Protein backbone atom coordinates (compact mmCIF):
# COMPACT_ATOMS: atom_id res chain seq x y z
CA UNK A 1 0.00 0.00 0.00
CA UNK A 2 1.23 3.42 -0.88
CA UNK A 3 -0.03 6.48 0.87
CA UNK A 4 1.14 9.99 0.33
CA UNK A 5 0.38 12.87 2.62
CA UNK A 6 1.19 16.47 1.91
CA UNK A 7 1.40 18.69 4.95
CA UNK A 8 0.80 22.40 4.72
CA UNK A 9 2.17 24.76 7.31
CA UNK A 10 -0.56 27.35 7.53
CA UNK A 11 0.35 30.96 8.00
CA UNK A 12 -0.68 32.72 11.19
CA UNK A 13 -1.64 29.44 12.76
CA UNK A 14 0.21 26.92 14.83
CA UNK A 15 -1.39 23.92 13.20
CA UNK A 16 0.22 21.87 10.49
CA UNK A 17 -2.56 20.56 8.31
CA UNK A 18 -2.14 17.38 6.34
CA UNK A 19 -3.80 17.17 2.95
CA UNK A 20 -7.03 19.04 2.57
CA UNK A 21 -9.13 18.03 5.55
CA UNK A 22 -9.35 20.48 8.42
CA UNK A 23 -12.47 19.38 10.28
CA UNK A 24 -15.26 16.86 9.86
CA UNK A 25 -18.33 16.96 12.12
CA UNK A 26 -19.01 13.24 11.92
CA UNK A 27 -15.44 11.95 12.12
CA UNK A 28 -14.58 14.47 14.82
CA UNK A 29 -17.64 13.79 16.98
CA UNK A 30 -16.97 12.87 20.62
CA UNK A 31 -18.25 13.09 24.18
CA UNK A 32 -15.68 15.74 25.06
CA UNK A 33 -16.48 19.41 24.55
CA UNK A 34 -13.88 21.10 22.37
CA UNK A 35 -12.18 17.91 21.15
CA UNK A 36 -11.17 18.29 17.48
CA UNK A 37 -12.43 21.87 17.69
CA UNK A 38 -16.08 20.79 17.98
CA UNK A 39 -18.49 22.05 20.64
CA UNK A 40 -22.04 20.89 21.30
CA UNK A 41 -24.63 23.38 22.44
CA UNK A 42 -27.88 25.14 21.92
CA UNK A 43 -29.54 28.53 21.68
CA UNK A 44 -32.40 29.03 24.13
CA UNK A 45 -34.54 31.34 21.99
CA UNK A 46 -37.41 31.46 24.48
CA UNK A 47 -35.04 32.68 27.22
CA UNK A 48 -33.20 35.25 25.12
CA UNK A 49 -33.81 38.77 26.45
CA UNK A 50 -32.23 40.27 23.33
CA UNK A 51 -33.82 38.66 20.28
CA UNK A 52 -31.50 37.34 17.60
CA UNK A 53 -28.68 34.84 17.72
CA UNK A 54 -25.59 36.35 19.31
CA UNK A 55 -22.53 34.11 18.89
CA UNK A 56 -20.86 35.31 22.06
CA UNK A 57 -23.77 35.37 24.50
CA UNK A 58 -26.36 32.98 23.12
CA UNK A 59 -24.41 29.75 22.65
CA UNK A 60 -24.78 27.52 25.72
CA UNK A 61 -22.90 24.24 26.00
CA UNK A 62 -24.78 20.98 26.37
CA UNK A 63 -24.02 19.52 29.78
CA UNK A 64 -25.48 16.03 29.50
CA UNK A 65 -23.54 13.33 27.61
CA UNK A 66 -25.32 9.99 27.80
CA UNK A 67 -22.63 7.96 26.10
CA UNK A 68 -23.75 8.71 22.54
CA UNK A 69 -25.94 11.84 22.56
CA UNK A 70 -25.38 15.40 23.75
CA UNK A 71 -28.51 16.83 25.46
CA UNK A 72 -29.30 20.45 26.32
CA UNK A 73 -31.25 19.24 29.37
CA UNK A 74 -33.44 16.50 30.81
CA UNK A 75 -36.72 18.10 29.80
CA UNK A 76 -36.04 19.08 26.19
CA UNK A 77 -35.54 17.34 22.86
CA UNK A 78 -32.61 19.62 22.03
CA UNK A 79 -29.73 17.28 21.23
CA UNK A 80 -26.84 16.46 18.89
CA UNK A 81 -25.26 13.24 17.60
CA UNK A 82 -22.50 12.62 15.07
CA UNK A 83 -24.36 13.56 11.89
CA UNK A 84 -27.62 15.10 13.06
CA UNK A 85 -29.46 17.06 15.69
CA UNK A 86 -32.90 17.77 17.10
CA UNK A 87 -34.33 21.14 18.19
CA UNK A 88 -37.03 21.87 20.78
CA UNK A 89 -40.37 23.41 19.81
CA UNK A 90 -42.21 26.50 21.03
CA UNK A 91 -45.69 25.47 19.96
CA UNK A 92 -45.73 21.68 19.83
CA UNK A 93 -43.02 19.61 21.50
CA UNK A 94 -44.35 16.06 21.86
CA UNK A 95 -43.88 14.69 25.38
CA UNK A 96 -41.84 17.58 26.70
CA UNK A 97 -42.50 21.23 27.64
CA UNK A 98 -42.75 23.75 24.84
CA UNK A 99 -39.78 26.05 24.55
CA UNK A 100 -37.92 27.21 21.46
CA UNK A 101 -34.36 25.97 21.33
CA UNK A 102 -31.99 25.47 18.44
CA UNK A 103 -29.48 22.64 18.47
CA UNK A 104 -26.10 24.24 17.64
CA UNK A 105 -22.87 22.46 16.68
CA UNK A 106 -19.85 24.77 16.75
CA UNK A 107 -16.42 24.50 15.22
CA UNK A 108 -13.70 26.90 16.37
CA UNK A 109 -11.13 27.58 13.68
CA UNK A 110 -7.45 26.78 14.14
CA UNK A 111 -6.57 27.98 10.65
CA UNK A 112 -6.37 31.12 8.56
CA UNK A 113 -7.18 31.52 4.88
CA UNK A 114 -9.75 30.49 2.29
CA UNK A 115 -11.63 27.26 2.95
CA UNK A 116 -14.62 25.26 1.82
CA UNK A 117 -17.42 24.40 4.23
CA UNK A 118 -19.77 21.77 2.92
CA UNK A 119 -22.08 18.96 3.90
CA UNK A 120 -25.54 17.47 3.65
CA UNK A 121 -28.86 18.59 5.12
CA UNK A 122 -31.94 16.33 5.24
CA UNK A 123 -34.87 15.34 7.43
CA UNK A 124 -34.33 12.07 9.30
CA UNK A 125 -37.89 11.39 10.39
CA UNK A 126 -40.28 12.27 7.59
CA UNK A 127 -43.45 10.99 9.23
CA UNK A 128 -44.86 14.17 10.79
CA UNK A 129 -44.34 17.82 11.75
CA UNK A 130 -43.78 21.11 9.94
CA UNK A 131 -40.15 20.62 8.89
CA UNK A 132 -37.02 22.24 10.24
CA UNK A 133 -34.59 25.01 9.36
CA UNK A 134 -30.82 24.53 9.08
CA UNK A 135 -28.53 27.55 9.39
CA UNK A 136 -24.80 28.28 9.18
CA UNK A 137 -23.27 31.28 10.96
CA UNK A 138 -19.72 32.61 10.87
CA UNK A 139 -19.08 34.68 14.01
CA UNK A 140 -22.82 35.31 14.12
CA UNK A 141 -23.21 36.31 10.48
CA UNK A 142 -25.75 34.12 8.75
CA UNK A 143 -24.17 32.44 5.70
CA UNK A 144 -26.90 29.93 4.91
CA UNK A 145 -30.54 29.34 5.83
CA UNK A 146 -32.24 26.29 4.39
CA UNK A 147 -35.82 25.30 5.18
CA UNK A 148 -36.60 21.61 5.06
CA UNK A 149 -40.08 20.31 4.39
CA UNK A 150 -41.30 17.67 6.82
CA UNK A 151 -40.95 14.93 4.24
CA UNK A 152 -37.59 15.94 2.76
CA UNK A 153 -35.67 12.77 3.54
CA UNK A 154 -33.45 13.15 0.49
CA UNK A 155 -32.36 16.67 1.40
CA UNK A 156 -29.54 18.41 -0.42
CA UNK A 157 -25.87 19.28 -0.22
CA UNK A 158 -24.52 22.73 0.54
CA UNK A 159 -21.11 24.30 -0.01
CA UNK A 160 -19.78 27.66 1.13
CA UNK A 161 -16.50 29.37 0.40
CA UNK A 162 -15.35 31.10 3.59
CA UNK A 163 -12.41 33.20 4.76
CA UNK A 164 -11.34 32.07 8.23
CA UNK A 165 -9.13 33.44 10.96
CA UNK A 166 -7.94 31.50 13.99
CA UNK A 167 -10.67 31.36 16.67
CA UNK A 168 -13.46 32.18 14.25
CA UNK A 169 -16.66 30.39 15.16
CA UNK A 170 -18.71 28.43 12.66
CA UNK A 171 -22.13 27.47 14.04
CA UNK A 172 -24.37 24.84 12.46
CA UNK A 173 -27.86 25.32 13.89
CA UNK A 174 -31.15 23.46 13.59
CA UNK A 175 -34.44 25.11 14.56
CA UNK A 176 -37.92 23.63 14.72
CA UNK A 177 -38.80 25.37 11.47
CA UNK A 178 -41.48 27.77 10.45
CA UNK A 179 -44.10 27.16 13.09
CA UNK A 180 -42.53 25.87 16.25
CA UNK A 181 -43.58 22.23 15.92
CA UNK A 182 -40.71 19.95 17.02
CA UNK A 183 -42.43 16.69 16.11
CA UNK A 184 -40.27 14.49 13.86
CA UNK A 185 -37.56 17.19 13.77
CA UNK A 186 -34.46 14.99 13.74
CA UNK A 187 -32.28 16.52 11.02
CA UNK A 188 -29.11 15.35 9.33
CA UNK A 189 -26.64 18.25 9.19
CA UNK A 190 -23.02 17.36 8.44
CA UNK A 191 -20.12 19.78 8.06
CA UNK A 192 -16.67 19.40 6.56
CA UNK A 193 -14.09 22.17 6.52
CA UNK A 194 -11.36 21.67 3.98
CA UNK A 195 -8.88 23.49 1.83
CA UNK A 196 -8.50 22.53 -1.82
CA UNK A 197 -4.86 21.86 -2.71
CA UNK A 198 -3.03 23.88 -5.32
CA UNK A 199 -0.81 22.30 -7.96
CA UNK A 200 1.80 24.97 -8.52
CA UNK A 201 2.52 23.79 -12.08
CA UNK A 202 -0.82 25.09 -13.42
CA UNK A 203 -2.17 27.03 -10.43
CA UNK A 204 -5.35 24.93 -10.31
CA UNK A 205 -6.86 23.78 -7.02
CA UNK A 206 -8.15 20.26 -6.44
CA UNK A 207 -10.58 18.92 -3.86
CA UNK A 208 -12.07 15.57 -2.94
CA UNK A 209 -15.70 15.90 -1.87
CA UNK A 210 -17.06 12.88 -0.05
CA UNK A 211 -20.66 12.22 -1.06
CA UNK A 212 -22.92 9.35 -1.99
CA UNK A 213 -23.64 10.75 -5.42
CA UNK A 214 -24.24 9.66 -9.01
CA UNK A 215 -21.93 10.83 -11.78
CA UNK A 216 -24.56 13.15 -13.39
CA UNK A 217 -25.29 14.75 -10.01
CA UNK A 218 -21.57 15.13 -9.30
CA UNK A 219 -21.11 16.89 -12.65
CA UNK A 220 -23.67 19.50 -11.57
CA UNK A 221 -22.47 19.72 -7.97
CA UNK A 222 -18.84 20.30 -8.95
CA UNK A 223 -19.87 23.13 -11.30
CA UNK A 224 -21.81 24.83 -8.51
CA UNK A 225 -18.73 25.17 -6.29
CA UNK A 226 -16.18 27.94 -6.28
CA UNK A 227 -12.93 28.48 -4.41
CA UNK A 228 -10.62 31.47 -4.23
CA UNK A 229 -12.94 33.15 -6.72
CA UNK A 230 -12.43 30.35 -9.22
CA UNK A 231 -15.26 28.21 -10.58
CA UNK A 232 -15.13 24.48 -10.03
CA UNK A 233 -15.76 21.61 -12.40
CA UNK A 234 -15.48 17.83 -12.22
CA UNK A 235 -11.72 17.24 -12.41
CA UNK A 236 -10.05 16.61 -15.76
CA UNK A 237 -6.51 15.21 -15.51
CA UNK A 238 -4.98 15.51 -18.96
CA UNK A 239 -1.40 14.47 -18.11
CA UNK A 240 0.42 12.00 -15.90
CA UNK A 241 1.80 14.73 -13.60
CA UNK A 242 -1.71 16.17 -13.08
CA UNK A 243 -3.20 12.73 -12.47
CA UNK A 244 -0.37 11.94 -10.05
CA UNK A 245 -0.89 15.18 -8.15
CA UNK A 246 -4.55 14.35 -7.67
CA UNK A 247 -4.18 10.71 -6.75
CA UNK A 248 -1.16 11.18 -4.48
CA UNK A 249 -2.39 14.22 -2.62
CA UNK A 250 -6.11 13.48 -2.44
CA UNK A 251 -5.72 9.71 -2.15
CA UNK A 252 -7.35 8.38 1.01
CA UNK A 253 -5.30 5.23 1.56
CA UNK A 254 -8.55 3.46 2.47
CA UNK A 255 -9.56 0.23 0.74
CA UNK A 256 -12.21 0.26 -1.98
CA UNK A 257 -12.47 4.00 -2.62
CA UNK A 258 -12.89 5.61 -6.02
CA UNK A 259 -13.95 9.14 -7.04
CA UNK A 260 -15.63 10.59 -10.13
CA UNK A 261 -13.68 12.41 -12.84
CA UNK A 262 -15.16 14.53 -15.66
CA UNK A 263 -14.93 11.83 -18.35
CA UNK A 264 -17.75 10.06 -20.11
CA UNK A 265 -18.48 7.92 -23.17
CA UNK A 266 -21.68 9.79 -24.03
CA UNK A 267 -22.76 7.61 -26.93
CA UNK A 268 -21.95 4.21 -25.41
CA UNK A 269 -19.50 3.51 -28.23
CA UNK A 270 -16.10 3.49 -26.52
CA UNK A 271 -15.42 7.09 -27.52
CA UNK A 272 -14.51 8.83 -24.27
CA UNK A 273 -14.70 12.60 -23.91
CA UNK A 274 -13.91 15.10 -21.21
CA UNK A 275 -17.27 16.74 -20.53
CA UNK A 276 -16.39 19.33 -17.89
CA UNK A 277 -14.01 22.25 -17.65
CA UNK A 278 -12.29 23.95 -20.58
CA UNK A 279 -11.57 20.54 -22.14
CA UNK A 280 -15.31 19.85 -22.37
CA UNK A 281 -16.20 18.07 -25.60
CA UNK A 282 -12.66 16.86 -26.34
CA UNK A 283 -12.08 13.16 -26.92
CA UNK A 284 -9.35 11.52 -24.83
CA UNK A 285 -9.74 7.80 -25.43
CA UNK A 286 -10.99 5.26 -27.97
CA UNK A 287 -11.79 2.26 -25.79
CA UNK A 288 -8.50 1.95 -23.87
CA UNK A 289 -6.33 3.82 -26.37
CA UNK A 290 -5.32 7.40 -25.67
CA UNK A 291 -6.17 9.90 -28.40
CA UNK A 292 -4.98 13.34 -29.45
CA UNK A 293 -4.65 16.08 -28.35
CA UNK A 294 -3.78 14.93 -24.82
CA UNK A 295 -2.56 11.43 -25.69
CA UNK A 296 -2.99 10.52 -22.06
CA UNK A 297 -5.10 7.91 -20.34
CA UNK A 298 -4.46 5.93 -17.18
CA UNK A 299 -6.85 2.98 -17.48
CA UNK A 300 -5.96 0.08 -15.20
CA UNK A 301 -6.08 -3.67 -15.83
CA UNK A 302 -8.91 -4.67 -18.16
CA UNK A 303 -10.58 -1.26 -17.98
CA UNK A 304 -12.61 0.10 -19.64
CA UNK A 305 -14.36 -3.27 -19.70
CA UNK A 306 -17.97 -2.12 -20.02
CA UNK A 307 -19.20 -4.97 -17.85
CA UNK A 308 -22.60 -3.45 -17.11
CA UNK A 309 -25.17 -1.47 -19.09
CA UNK A 310 -24.28 2.24 -19.21
CA UNK A 311 -20.79 1.65 -17.78
CA UNK A 312 -19.76 4.90 -19.43
CA UNK A 313 -18.52 7.13 -16.59
CA UNK A 314 -14.96 7.71 -15.43
CA UNK A 315 -13.78 6.94 -11.91
CA UNK A 316 -10.32 7.19 -10.36
CA UNK A 317 -8.87 4.84 -7.76
CA UNK A 318 -8.04 7.01 -4.74
CA UNK A 319 -7.84 4.21 -2.16
CA UNK A 320 -5.70 1.07 -2.34
CA UNK A 321 -4.96 -1.48 -5.03
CA UNK A 322 -8.33 -2.86 -6.09
CA UNK A 323 -8.95 -5.74 -8.52
CA UNK A 324 -5.55 -5.11 -10.06
CA UNK A 325 -6.03 -1.33 -10.32
CA UNK A 326 -3.36 0.67 -8.54
CA UNK A 327 -3.99 4.04 -6.93
CA UNK A 328 -4.35 6.66 -9.64
CA UNK A 329 -5.65 4.27 -12.30
CA UNK A 330 -8.99 4.72 -14.05
CA UNK A 331 -11.99 2.51 -14.67
CA UNK A 332 -15.34 2.82 -16.38
CA UNK A 333 -18.35 2.70 -14.07
CA UNK A 334 -22.11 2.79 -14.18
CA UNK A 335 -23.54 6.18 -13.15
CA UNK A 336 -24.48 5.16 -9.62
CA UNK A 337 -22.00 4.02 -6.95
CA UNK A 338 -22.26 0.31 -6.17
CA UNK A 339 -20.27 -2.55 -4.67
CA UNK A 340 -18.49 -3.05 -7.99
CA UNK A 341 -18.12 0.69 -8.65
CA UNK A 342 -17.21 1.82 -5.12
CA UNK A 343 -17.31 5.59 -5.65
CA UNK A 344 -17.21 7.60 -2.41
CA UNK A 345 -17.29 11.11 -3.84
CA UNK A 346 -16.04 13.35 -6.59
CA UNK A 347 -12.99 15.38 -7.49
CA UNK A 348 -13.33 19.09 -8.18
CA UNK A 349 -10.82 21.17 -10.13
CA UNK A 350 -10.83 24.96 -9.76
CA UNK A 351 -9.24 27.11 -12.45
CA UNK A 352 -9.42 30.51 -14.10
CA UNK A 353 -12.66 30.72 -16.08
CA UNK A 354 -12.26 30.89 -19.82
CA UNK A 355 -14.67 31.15 -22.69
CA UNK A 356 -14.30 31.05 -26.45
CA UNK A 357 -16.76 33.00 -28.56
CA UNK A 358 -17.71 32.15 -32.13
CA UNK A 359 -20.13 33.72 -34.60
CA UNK A 360 -21.58 31.97 -37.63
CA UNK A 361 -23.90 33.57 -40.15
CA UNK A 362 -26.89 31.38 -40.97
CA UNK A 363 -29.43 32.29 -43.69
CA UNK A 364 -31.89 33.63 -41.14
CA UNK A 365 -29.77 34.48 -38.11
CA UNK A 366 -26.43 35.34 -36.63
CA UNK A 367 -25.58 32.37 -34.47
CA UNK A 368 -23.41 33.35 -31.53
CA UNK A 369 -22.03 30.48 -29.55
CA UNK A 370 -19.38 29.84 -26.96
CA UNK A 371 -17.79 27.16 -24.83
CA UNK A 372 -16.72 27.77 -21.27
CA UNK A 373 -15.57 25.99 -18.14
CA UNK A 374 -17.78 28.12 -15.90
CA UNK A 375 -21.26 29.40 -15.44
CA UNK A 376 -21.53 33.14 -14.89
CA UNK A 377 -20.66 34.31 -18.39
CA UNK A 378 -23.18 36.55 -20.08
CA UNK A 379 -23.40 37.68 -23.67
CA UNK A 380 -23.37 41.40 -24.46
CA UNK A 381 -23.71 43.36 -27.66
CA UNK A 382 -22.91 46.90 -28.85
CA UNK A 383 -22.79 48.90 -32.07
CA UNK A 384 -19.32 50.17 -31.17
CA UNK A 385 -16.51 47.94 -29.88
CA UNK A 386 -14.88 50.47 -27.58
CA UNK A 387 -14.83 49.79 -23.83
CA UNK A 388 -16.82 52.96 -23.21
CA UNK A 389 -19.56 52.00 -25.65
CA UNK A 390 -23.04 51.17 -24.46
CA UNK A 391 -23.01 47.39 -24.13
CA UNK A 392 -26.35 45.67 -23.76
CA UNK A 393 -26.91 42.31 -22.15
CA UNK A 394 -28.48 39.58 -24.22
CA UNK A 395 -30.26 37.63 -21.58
CA UNK A 396 -30.90 34.52 -23.59
CA UNK A 397 -32.38 32.02 -23.31
CA UNK A 398 -29.18 30.29 -24.38
CA UNK A 399 -29.42 26.84 -25.82
CA UNK A 400 -26.81 24.43 -24.50
CA UNK A 401 -25.61 21.74 -26.87
CA UNK A 402 -22.50 19.56 -26.79
CA UNK A 403 -20.95 21.86 -24.23
CA UNK A 404 -21.61 24.99 -26.29
CA UNK A 405 -23.98 27.77 -25.36
CA UNK A 406 -25.79 29.13 -28.35
CA UNK A 407 -27.83 32.25 -29.07
CA UNK A 408 -29.57 32.98 -32.37
CA UNK A 409 -30.10 36.59 -33.29
CA UNK A 410 -32.60 36.94 -36.18
CA UNK A 411 -31.06 38.90 -39.06
CA UNK A 412 -33.93 41.39 -39.05
CA UNK A 413 -32.61 42.55 -35.66
CA UNK A 414 -29.14 43.20 -37.00
CA UNK A 415 -28.56 46.83 -37.96
CA UNK A 416 -25.23 47.95 -39.36
CA UNK A 417 -22.27 46.49 -37.55
CA UNK A 418 -22.84 44.68 -34.33
CA UNK A 419 -20.24 43.51 -31.84
CA UNK A 420 -20.47 40.75 -29.24
CA UNK A 421 -18.51 39.98 -26.11
CA UNK A 422 -18.68 37.68 -23.11
CA UNK A 423 -18.49 39.04 -19.60
CA UNK A 424 -17.68 36.96 -16.54
CA UNK A 425 -20.03 38.07 -13.77
CA UNK A 426 -19.44 35.58 -11.04
CA UNK A 427 -18.52 37.37 -7.82
CA UNK A 428 -15.19 36.39 -6.25
In sequence order, the 6+-apart residues with CB closer than 8 A to the CB of 163 are 113, 114, 115
> Is residue 185 a contact point for Ca ion (CB under 5 A)?
yes
Minimal CB distance residue for Ca ion: 177
DSSP letter string, 317-334 = E-SS-BTTBPTT-EEEE-
Q: Which part of the chain contacts Ca ion (CB under 5 A), choosing from 156-164, 183-191, 321-329, 405-413?
A: 183-191
DSSP assignment, residue 181? B
Beta strand 271-274 pairing with 355-361: unpaired
> Is residue 331 close enough to count as binding Ca ion by CB under 5 A?
yes
Contacts to Ca ion from residues 235-294, by CB under 5 A: 236
Q: How many other CB atoms are found less than 10 A from the CB of residue 418?
A: 16
Instruction: Write out the binding residues for Ca ion, residues 66-85 only, by CB under 5 A.
Output: none
C-beta closer to Ca ion: residue 129 or 353: 129
Q: How far apart (Å, rounded) are the C-alpha atoms in residues 246 and 347?
A: 8
Looking at the Cβ atoms of 331 and 366, the one nearer to Ca ion is 331
The one among 24, 171, 181, 194 contacting Ca ion by CB under 5 A = 181
Q: What are the start-end ranges of the H helices in 106-253?
A: 215-223, 240-249
Interface with Ca ion in residues 341-380 (CB under 5 A): none
For residues 79 and 101, give the distance between their C-alpha atoms in angstroms, rounded to a whole number: 10
| Total binding residues toward Ca ion, as defined by CB under 5 A | 10
Measured from the CB atom, the residue of 171 and 185 that comes closer to Ca ion is: 185
- Residue 294 has a CB neighbour count (10 Å cut-off) of 18
Question: ω before 293 within 30° of 0 (cis)?
Answer: yes
Rounded CA-CA distance 356/362 in Å is: 19
User: Looking at beta carbons only, is 63 or 305 nearer to Ca ion?
Assistant: 305
Min separation Cβ 287 and Ca ion, Å: 12
Which stretch in 22-30, 225-233, 265-273, 328-336 sits in contact with Ca ion by CB under 5 A? 328-336
Q: Which is nearer to Ca ion, 91 or 411 (CB)?
A: 91
Q: Could you give the C-alpha distances from 141 to 34, 52, 168, in angstroms and in order?
A: 21, 11, 11
User: What is the radius of gyration, based on Cα positions, of the chain?
Assistant: 25
Q: Does 305 bind Ca ion (CB under 5 A)?
A: yes
Residue 24 touches Ca ion, criterion: CB under 5 A = no
Q: Closest separation between CB of residue 182 and Ca ion, Å?
A: 6
Q: Is 332 in the site for Ca ion (CB under 5 A)?
A: yes
Contacting residue, 44, 130, 171, 194, with Ca ion by CB under 5 A? 130
Q: Considering beta carbons, is residue 325 or 409 the nearer one to Ca ion? A: 325
- Nearest distance from C-beta of residue 306 to Ca ion, angstroms: 7
Q: How far is CA 273 from CA 57, 184, 239, 287, in A?
A: 54, 46, 15, 11
Stretch that binds Ca ion, among 26-34, 65-73, 103-111, 180-188 (CB under 5 A): 180-188
Cα–Cα distance between 187 and 65 in angstroms, integer?
19
**What is the phi/psi pair of residue 137, to 5°?**
-125, 140
Q: According to CB under 5 A, which one of 73, 129, 263, 278 is a site residue for Ca ion?
A: 129
Chain residues in the site for Ca ion (CB under 5 A): 129-130, 176-177, 181, 185, 236, 305, 331-332
Amino acid sequence: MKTAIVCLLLTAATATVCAQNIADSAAGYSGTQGLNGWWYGYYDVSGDAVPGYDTTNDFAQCTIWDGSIWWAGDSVWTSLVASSGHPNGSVNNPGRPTREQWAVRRWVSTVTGAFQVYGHIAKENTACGDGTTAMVFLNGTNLLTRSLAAGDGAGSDYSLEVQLQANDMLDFAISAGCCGDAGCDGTTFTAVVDRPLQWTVNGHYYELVRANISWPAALVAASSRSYAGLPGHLAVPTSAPENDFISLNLGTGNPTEFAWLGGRAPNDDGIWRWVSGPESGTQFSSWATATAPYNYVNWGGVEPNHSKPDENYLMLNIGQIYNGLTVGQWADAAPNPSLSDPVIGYLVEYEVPIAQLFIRMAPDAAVVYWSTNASGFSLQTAADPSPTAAWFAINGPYALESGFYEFRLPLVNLLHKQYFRLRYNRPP
